[in-house]
Structure 1
Amino acid sequence: MGWVYLLLAFLLCYYIFRSNTTRDLKKLPSPPGSLFYFGHIFQIRDEPHKKFTEWARSLGDIYSVQMGQQNWIILTSDKVVGELLQKRGAKYSTRVPSHYTFKILTRGKSYVCNPYDERYRKVNPIMHSVLGQRSVKENSDLLDDEYRILMQNLCQASAKMNDGFYPKYFFQLTALNVITLLCLNKRTDSVDDPFYREFKSLMGTHLELAKVTNRLSEFFPILKWFPNTKLHNAMIESADNIEAFLRKLVKEVIEDKEKKPCIIREFLRKKDEGILDDLDVIYLTDTIFAAGTDTVSASLTWLTAALANNPHVQSKAHQELDRVIGQSRIPEVSDEQTIPYIRAIIKEGQRYCGPLYLAIPHAIEEDDEYNGYHIPANSVVVLNQYGIHMDEKRYENPKEFKPERFLGFTESSAALANGNYENRDHFGFGAGRRLCTGIHMAERELLLGVSRLLWCFKIENASPLGKDGKPIAINLDKIRNGITVWPEDYKVRFVKRHDNVEKVLSGQSQ
């Protein structure tokens, strides 16, 4: 019987120790209806951002959800995000340790989803050096050229497709060209080019497989013993195809006799120094391709639809551009401080219909306490961007596209993200130490893209007419939900605002 007493003593010690760690702390509120073993997973369905936001209205800014065997902490206010992800960044900067899906898709070499460990701290300065403010300034001419070419491409497409078209692929091509020029000094001329088509197919599959609904083995560990062979094989095939695609690009850089400087060459130099290995080079490049093309192009695709639905916003933007820029040149980066309404449109676009509704989850590896609540170790911590952006206490009439709410904001999103949480414009780039590395590049691209889009065109909704004889508004609630969120296909027309547009874009008029 000695072992029984020993076991009881052990359990008593464990209970006392455990109770001491959470003494006087309350459990976080949680939605009703949790099922044994399954938790709330059947209540989430296909639009978790909406369910999380609905629960936040009744449970508060911080609450827990049981996703199978994972405990998720949902953050839905600027204050709780600021207090935890920013002020306690050291505790909340890791990622989900068992991110099984990403480990397969990226051979365990993901930069975005890796834990806040020694490897991350080694790689992070490298990523900041190739995507940070200095890099943006050094590549200003490259960005200027690509967003001038984008406007030319939209002019040409509009002349051919009078009934309108879905602009996603033109935005995606421009974002891809920015990344390929940065990574290996290569660009693609058309959405019909085989390189673009291969990239679009590979990346589309890659991001689709990584979405939450394909991560059941993370919620239910027992499924790792009974894997979905079809899904598992699809992930392996996607990883193989991405790796083969990127190895070809790395080979191009290695064989470039001119040895032109580029991001991949910088990665190869770090490899020669023993800082990176072969797969690091491949999957750091993968991270830049995935994040650098989808987020910017999705932002522009969403914003174009919002502008088509709100011609009065376009009218105000056109007035500002005509007054400040005139019609003899296109907007430049140096114009930013003199076109506050354009800057406000960009910020409102990131709030109203940004490319992410739920940020890539953080995690906490040790117990914590917040406002008398116990936050258990090994919890997944989710920044509900959609919920914050639709919070009526923070944004008056949040379902209205209203750039005027940001006219008083003169600083960049990057500067505001590192300051007081109460003063932030939006949370589209995440929060804390895992703030989007490419935030400076993205802001520069959005400034050039949006200002020039509105300088060149009036964006008209090309949807079928309703009973009132007007085009039916583009439904921005219809989405394609993956890691990046896209609107369903829609059609718009890009109507040149004046006869000087093409002359200015071609450099014939100054």
Structure 2
Amino acid sequence: MGESISKKKTSHIFQIGREPHKTFTEWARSLGDIYGINMGQQYWIILTSDKVVGELLQKRGGKYSTRIKSYYTYDLLTRGKSYVSCPYNERFKMLTPIMHGALGQRTVRENSKLLDDEFRILMQNLCKDSTNAKDGFYPKYHFQLASLNVITLLCLNKRTESVNDPFYTNFETIVEEHLEAAKITNKLSEFFPILKFVPNHSLRNKIIESRIKMEAFLGKLIKEVEDDEEKKPCIIRTLLNKKDEGILDELDVVFLLDNIFSAGTDTISASLTWIVAALANNPEVQSKAHQELDQVIGHSRLPEVSDEPNIPYIRAMIKEGQRYCAPIYLGIPHGIEEDDEYNGYHIPANSVVILNQYGIHMDEKRYKNPKEFKPERFLGVTESSAALANGNYENRDHFSFGAGRRLCTGIHMAERELLLGVSFLLWCFKIENASPLGEDGKPIPIDLEKIRFGITVWPEDYHVRFVKRHDNVEKVLFGLSQI
């Protein structure tokens, strides 16, 4: 047996601080790409390089693909029915093709027009609001609405017209409460067993209340599909058919739908919110993208998916956005249920394994000048992130979609939505920073270090203006006349 990796670092949960991604990355500089920390009764292995992620999570995926059971998230919050939190077992293997069927490549192909239409509507909404908000606005809620509509259209053939619609506001509130209930500070008894003898009834009731609200919200959507006399095909109907076949039960349908909504809305809207902030801070990057779009697309139509090979700078910009300001910093922890050996160190069974995406993305050895937003670093990379994620770890563009057998199920959908979102935005608009002016007379750069940290990471509120780039923007978006 090798030396225990735990000898490389002994720590405490409260030493991590409010920015764990930075703490873990700083420790990696002195301790190496893989080290262990004691988190109360839990033992965490922190992975901070492409090599160690590739060799453990990819090459040894069968060992490192489980989840260490969490009482709060797996039992209290999801009744043990979550696909995302499911251990790597026969149930997980049974659910995986169902989830891939809901969000995979075939679904993306079959719903190409739906995606095009929804992102055109997003541009229409941004155009309208830009006219009425001369001082700019925070675009997060528009991106959330668009990503929510994509999922509700796929799941039950329904869409929402406005961020003021009760359906949207209810959904946003429920999701925020759900994520709040799942945060790490609610799980201290899993790190410190003695706290189990000091029950926090208020916290427990809050978590259960959040779950009940989510179940009721999704239950209504499921009932709508059940009552649809036309029996229109959709994801919920597919799940209900699996229930009729005896493959799923009623709660399986609810919590698979919960995972689909979470996977399909939060990360996409967060990614677009980050990219817009980065573009507002980097007008020279926008200028290069505008030139490419003008040369390849012109001003008579919006970009199309078929244009992707001919707009390499846009494609590189999306990859750089997922690296430079990814919506996931630490991901959802993996786990290992049996002892393992790596480079002479012993990795104990039941360790929690953390993929430090932030640390890898800020690795100067892998990405020169990582603090710079520089799409040029990905020019010449023609493969999709999905293809690269399943290949050699050295060739990966970024790690925002995770790694190994827990790679994001919705990766194909996410890549299509990001392509449409970014290319449409830059075809239509010049994005201007609407922050107050600094001493140099220029807007103060948006501070991308100010974040809202959770499973998904968001930038703090900022204001930008979306300025129409040419006279044909409204004509193309709203079909006001033939071009």
Q: If the length of structure 2 is used for normalisation, what is the TM-score?
A: 0.98
The answer for the alignment partner of 2:370 in structure 1 is: 398
What's the counterpart of residue 358 of structure 2? 386
Counterpart amino acid of residue 467 in structure 2: V
Matches within 5 A, 1:289-368: 289-368=261-340
Secondary structure at the aligned position of 1:74 is classed as strand
Which residue matches 1:487? 459
Task: Give the residue type in structure 2 aligned to 1:100.
Answer: Y
- CA deviation digits over 1:56-109, x for unaligned, max 9? 010000000111110000000000000000000000110112353342111111
Task: Tell me whether 1:28 sits opposite 2:25 in the alignment.
Answer: no
TM superposition shift of 1:114: 1.0
Tell me whether 1:53 sits opposite 2:21 in the alignment.
no
Question: 442, 448, 459: which is aligned to 1:476?
Answer: 448
Instruction: Give the counterpart letter for 1:458 in structure 2.
Output: K
Q: Distance in 2 between matches of 1:223 and 1:182?
A: 43
Match of 2:138 in 1: 166
What SS does structure 1 have at the residue aligned with 2:142? helix
Corresponding residue number in structure 2 for 1:258: 230
Of residues 91-100 and 350-359 in structure 1, the stretch that sits farther from structure 2 once superposed is 91-100
Give runs of aligned pairs for residues 358-437 of structure 1, distance below 5 A: 358-437=330-409
Structure 1 residue runs without a partner (length 5+): 1-21
Q: For the residues of structure 1 that align with 2:200 and 2:274, how far apart are their CA atoms?
A: 34
Q: Distance in 2 between matches of 1:487 and 1:497?
A: 26
Q: Is the 8 A contact 1:363 1:378 kept in 2?
A: yes
The residue type paired with residue 159 of structure 2 is R
- Equivalent position amino acid for 1:27 in 2: S
* 2:140 and 2:273 in contact (8 A); partners too: yes
Q: Please give the alpha-carbon distance, in whole angstroms, between the structure 1 residues aligned to 2:179 and 2:15.
A: 24
Which of the residues 455, 464, 487 maps onto 2:427?
Answer: 455
Identical residues among aligned pairs (%):
76
What amino acid sits opposite 1:222 in the alignment? I
Q: Deviations over 1:373-401 (max 9, x none)?
A: 10110000000000000000000000000
- Are 1:439 and 2:411 counterparts? yes
- AA in 2 matched with 1:392: E
CA distance in 2, matches of 1:98, 1:504: 50
Moved more, 110-119 or 419-428: 110-119
Distance 1:359 1:67 in 2: 17
Q: Give the distance between the partners of 2:393 and 2:23, measured in 1 at CA.
A: 24
**2:16 counterpart residue number:** 44
- In structure 1, the residue matched to 2:73 is 101
Matched residues in 2 for 1:270 and 1:226: separation? 42
Letter in 2 for 1:478: K
Q: CA deviation at 1:291?
A: 1.6
Provide TM-score, normalisation by structure 1: 0.93
Residue identity matched to 2:243:
K
Report the Cα offset of residue 506 of structure 1. Answer: 1.9
The partner residue of 1:146 within 103, 111, 118 is 118
Q: Distance in 2 between matches of 1:153 and 1:342?
A: 22
Deviations 1:318-353 (A, max 9, x none): 000000000000001111110000000100000001
Whole-angstrom CA distance in 2 between matches of 1:102 and 1:329 = 47
Give the superposition deviation at 1:300: 0.2
User: How much does 1:40 deviate?
Assistant: 1.5
Alignment of 1:73-152 (within 5 A): 73-152=45-124
Query: In the alignment, residue 46 of structure 2 is paired with which amino acid?
Result: I
Shift of 1:29: 5.7
Q: Deviations over 1:234-292 (max 9, x none)?
A: 10000000000100000000001111000000000000000000000001001111121
SS in 2 for 1:215: helix
Deviations 1:471-497 (A, max 9, x none): 000000000011110000000000000
Aligned partners of 1:311 and 1:368: how far apart in 2? 49
Aligned-pair CA distance for 1:509: 3.7
Asked if the contact 1:329/1:509 (under 8 Å) is kept, the reply is no
Secondary structure (helix, strand or coil) at the match of 2:252 reads helix
Deviation at 1:220, TM superposition (A): 1.5
Any conservation in 1 of the 2:82–2:255 contact (CA below 8 Å)? yes
- CA distance in structure 1 between the partners assigned to 2:62 and 2:45 by the alignment: 17
Cα contact 1:95–1:363 (8 A) shared by 2? yes
Superposition deviation, residue 304 in structure 1: 0.3
Once the two structures are superposed, the pairs formed by residues 195-234 of structure 1 within 5 Å of their partners are 195-234=167-206
**Deviation string for 1:443-478 (max 9, x for gaps)?**
000000000000000000000000011000000000
Alpha-carbon displacement from aligned partner over 1:298-318 (angstroms, at most 9, x marks no partner): 000000000000000000000
Per-residue Cα deviation, 1:194-228 (whole angstroms, up to 9, x for no partner): 00000000001111221222221221223223222
**Could you tell me how far apart the structure 1 residues matched to 2:176 and 2:7 are?**
35
Alignment equivalent of 1:240, drawn from 180, 196, 212: 212
Superposition CA RMSD, Å: 1.0
Quote the Cα distance in structure 1 between the aligned partners of 2:357 and 2:348: 22
Contact 1:31-1:55 at 8 Å conserved across structures = no
- Local SS of the residue matching 1:356: coil
- Which of 1 and 2 has greater Rg? 1
Whole-angstrom CA distance in 2 between matches of 1:234 and 1:44 = 26
Read off the aligned partner of 1:385 and give its amino acid letter: Q
**Cα 1:99–1:355, aligned 2, differ >3 Å: closer, same or farther?**
farther
Whether the 8 Å contact between 1:359 and 1:385 is mirrored in structure 2 is: yes
Indicate if the aligned counterparts of 1:296 and 1:442 stay in contact, CA closer than 8 A. yes
Report the counterpart of residue 16 of structure 1 in structure 2. none
Q: Is the 8 A contact 2:268 2:414 kept in 1?
A: yes
Distance in 1 between residues matched to 2:224 and 2:292, nearest whole Å: 45
Which amino acid is 1:293 matched to? T
SS of corresponding position for 2:43? strand
Please state whether the residue corresponding to 1:63 is helix, strand or coil.
strand
**Aligned-residue offset at 1:359:** 1.4
Deviation sequence 1:131-166 (CA, Å, 0-9, x none): 110110001010000000000000000011110000
Q: Are the counterparts in 2 of residues 147 and 448 from structure 1 also a CA contact under 8 Å?
A: yes
Q: What is the rounded CA distance, in whole Å, between the counterparts of 1:236 and 1:223 in structure 2?
A: 19
Give the conservation status (yes or no) of the 8 Å contact 2:174–2:213: yes
